[in-house]
Amino acid sequence: MDHLIPASWRFVLKEFLDSDSCRGLSEFLSRERALGRTIFPAEKNWFRAFFEVPPERVRVVILGQDPYHGENQAMGLSFAVPNGLKPKPPSLKNILKELKTDLGVEFDEGLSDLTGWAKQGVLLLNTVLTVRAHEPLSHQNQGWEELTDQILQHLNGRKQKIVFVLWGAYAGKKKSLLTAAHHEIIETPHPSPLSAYRGFFGSKPFSRINSILRQSDLEQIDWIRITEP
């Protein structure tokens, strides 16, 4: 598995990559493929978020649960789908709706891959990095959580401020790993249709993140830059 991870993150994940949990996860994924089960995203995109943002450039973490389980959706960045995909997943539609409300701007509705955010230091991280087609949460408790917990613990140890965005109860469980007082946590209900009206809508996460970065003399995120050319 380590050959799939960029070198900058392999150092961060060395303890996990040398562990029995990593071997167990690799064996589980091999069995899934041997049984003919389709795994999303494609293997080349399992660690896409890490290729987009090296550890020293992370300024914001947006934490998701597991990848989208529908055809042509998951691309290795939490909440993102390829540009032009229709229909968009409901959670992403609500995220982009709140973005428009929060910042009061229009943007191209066909853009959805969120690579523009990633290129600016936003780590779009799922806690579980793969899923069986059409079976949400089918790859939880197989070892991915230990890998992503190690990522969060490493980032918690960073001296420069990071804004951690926890949407929903599942992401909120990771709050216990984020103990350093100089970091900031934004915690709201999940953007899914089941909970968006319980506090996600109107939470203004994008302007709040930029306010935090600005107060710390850090470069703000251009949230309207949703994609890269």
**Does the reported pTM lie above 0.95?**
yes
pLDDT in tens, the chain (229 residues): 889 999 999 999 999 999 999 999 999 999 999 999 999 999 999 999 999 999 999 999 999 999 999 999 999 999 999 999 999 999 999 999 999 999 998 888 899 999 999 999 999 999 999 999 999 999 999 999 999 999 999 999 999 999 999 999 999 999 999 999 999 999 999 999 999 999 999 999 999 999 999 999 999 999 999 999 7
Side chain identity, residue 6: P
The pair of structure tokens assigned to 58 is 């992370």
Query: What is the dihedral sign for C-alpha 20, 22, 23, 29?
Result: positive
Task: Determine the pLDDT at residue 1.
Answer: 87
Catalytic residues: 66
In angstroms, the CA 200 to CA 202 distance is 6
Report the side by side order of strands in the sheet with 60-64. 122-126, 60-64, 163-167, 184-188
Determine whether 148 is exposed, middle or buried from the number of CB atoms within 10 Å of its CB (0-12, 13-18, 19+).
buried
Task: Determine the pLDDT at residue 109.
Answer: 85
In angstroms, the CA 118 to CA 120 distance is 5
Strands 163-167 and 184-188: parallel
Side chain identity, residue 161: K
Task: Determine the pLDDT at residue 141.
Answer: 97
- Tokens 């701007």, located at residue: 105
Query: What is the dihedral sign for C-alpha 53, 56, 62, 65?
Result: positive
What are the structural domains of the chain?
2-215 (3.40.470.10)
